[in-house]
Amino acid sequence: MAKRTFLQAAGRLQDHLAGVPQGHEVPRVPAVWIHSCLRKADKNKDNKMSFKELQNFLKELNIQVDDSYARKIFRECDHSQTDSLEDKEIEVFYKMLTQREEIDYTFAEAAGSGETLSVDQLVTFLKHQQKEEEAGPALALSLIERYEPNETAKAQHQMTKDGFLMYLLSADGNAFNLVHRRVYQDMSQPLSHYLVSSSHNTYLLEDQLTGPSSTEAYIRALCKGCRCLELDCWDGPNQEPIIYHGYTFTSRIFFCDVVRAIRDYAFKASPYPVILSLENHCSLEQQRVMARHLHAILGPMLLDRPLDGVTSNLPSPEQLKGKILLKGKKLGGLLPPGGESAPEATVSDEDEAAEMEDEAVRSRVQHKPKEDKLRLAQELSDMVIYCKSVHFGGFSSAGPSGQAFYEMASFSENRAFRMLQESGSSFVRHNVGHLSRIYPAGWRTDSSNYSPVEMWNGGCQIVALNFQTPGPEMDVYQGRFQDNGACGYVLKPDFLRDLNTTFSARALTQGPWWAPKRLIVKVISGQQLPKVNKNKNSIVDPRVTVEIHGVGRDMASRQTAVITNNGFNPRWNTEFEFEVVVPELALVRFVVEDYDASSKNDFIGQSTIPWHSLKQGYRHIHLLSKNGDQHPSATLFVKITLRD
């Protein structure tokens, strides 16, 4: 009897998966498949489904569900109150989780009066709605093969409504272009032609005055694709250099432990070069220890001499694959000084090694006087090849007789903003052939971040943010660097790589960058938005904000209405229009918040997508948490249209 019950449930579910009412003659999902999924999930073989078993069943069917919503619906379906479901209850549970009217409507739009999509109908949908460049029978058949759960429909080259939903929820139906999830850009241009994912005070897990330092922070940054790390080095006990935020009460970690962590994780997320930005405050003796550790631990990974033939311009990420570079002070030029400099020569420490930031911390914490000179050990100096730290001498000196190609300056965010305002196009031209590093202002002792967008608009490559501090700035940062396979290097647009460019984001004129577009975003619905308020009785009141980040003229933000008490399947059906004149620099951010009339809204999730990675048509946006991790099942369903 119990076995028959399961078979009945399987039969009804197969009808639902075929996308039709019972009794219609259509391709059917084999009862065997559904039954085997039910059987596999029914661990204790009692022909009932506990909550855990139902979760396994849904996994077998490739359906991801937020636990709290699944539990809520499970309780609603458990009429017998036995903490398990059987027969029809299983079918009702499945339907409640997967029923989406907006998908029914979109499917009906594509299928007409039919119960399945033919190859031709799917091609028409892919071409006219999804604006897929490759739309044709081959793409349609590959999507049916990949996402159609009904074997009979698949054999007849048809797509049911369930297959259609699975396609829309997949990477192929994502608003972020699947092609851009791998490295697709030209990686053979000079380093200065790329934006580089860069971290500030990488060693910190929290604030800059009392927070803990940890090798874990380096591992996290590297796993997120970061390619430029900061090492703030000071004399430590027993001749072992340490890393911490100078003149503060942050905890201390050994330099050698950090270098080991970097060696182990440098190329897990990306094969492209890692730059170690050394902020060197060590004595000569401990600098020599640093040099020995770098050689011994990193071995052949460490770039300690110029690449063959690369002595007149910066090498490319491709040429530097698998290499770790040092950025820091250096005695003499690109080639080893060959004994010209005394091994205990002094170099200016005024530009960034002690940084105005440290000066600000110094004055706030211990009122220490500033030291202008740093004695530099030859052994450490010789390891700095293409990233020699220098004081910026102004734009007139940049060029053949001024700053050498391997020399780079660092700028506080305030100084960079000022330069972009006063001489924007000069800064852009400077950044065509030279690397520039931007770091947060000294007053940001809480490790808050500035917006990186304006710095990228000026062609600055190493725009360093506090990776340990979540917020809109890091959201946009992660959005920019999920492009190009999340390898940590994103090629700048043509007009930011042209030595004769006149582009300035602050004083915008017409030029090759001027390509006005209209973006139309229809926010249709949300799915399984996680509860963020700890109050057990609270239910999400979601609101969606769509933002444009780019040149000043393009910055914009629009909001939907608030849907009260519905985080499971809120529907907005709200359309927004944006005009964007420099699309190549634009990013689109989708933010979902839990609205609260009496206090600050709670952040639910977001996704930021670079303009040229945005796919048109009916798309799902998979939301990320505050820390940048993907929510397992929280999505927005939108329709995106681009027009000239």
Catalytic residues: 200, 245
DSSP string, 346-373: EEE-TTTTSHHHHHHHHHHHT-PPPP-E
Helix count and strand count (H, E) for the chain: 18, 21
Neighbours of 342 (CB within 10 A): 11
Binding residues for substrate: 327, 329, 410, 437
Give the largest CA-CA distance in the chain.
93
| DSSP run (H or E) holding 617 | strand 617-624
Name every residue whose Cβ is closer than 8 Å to that of residue 170 and which is 6 or more positions away in sequence.
Answer: 146, 147
Q: In this structure, how many other beta carbons lie within 10 angstroms of the beta carbon of residue 381?
A: 23
Amino acid found at 429: R
In angstroms, what CA-CA distances link 484 with 220, 291, 437, 615? 20, 34, 21, 15
Which residues contact residue 4 at a Cβ distance below 8 angstroms, ignoring those fewer than 6 apart?
Answer: none
Strand 384-389 with 373-375, pairing: unpaired
End-to-end CA distance of the chain: 64
> Taking CA 603 as the corner, what is the angle to CA 598 and CA 606, rounded to the nearest 5 degrees?
145
Please, are residues 159 and 143 in contact by the beta-carbon 8 Å criterion? yes
Residues 55, 49: Cα–Cα separation, whole Å = 9
Q: How far apart are CA 519 and CA 640, in angstroms?
A: 7
Q: Tell me the sheet residues that pair with 595.
A: none
| CB neighbour list of residue 176: distance below 8 Å, 6 or more residues apart | 482, 607, 609, 613, 614, 615
Cβ-contact 522, 573 below 8 angstroms: yes
- Asked if residues 504 and 428 have their Cβ atoms less than 8 Å apart, the reply is yes
Nearest to 503 by CA among 22, 302, 494: 494
Q: Which tokens in the block code for residue 145?
A: 């093969």
Structure tokens at 591: 């933010």
Query: DSSP letter at 377?
Result: -
Q: How many angstroms separate the Cα of 358 from the Cα of each of 33, 467, 639?
A: 64, 19, 48
- The dihedral through the CA atoms of 245, 251, 257, 262 has a sign that is negative
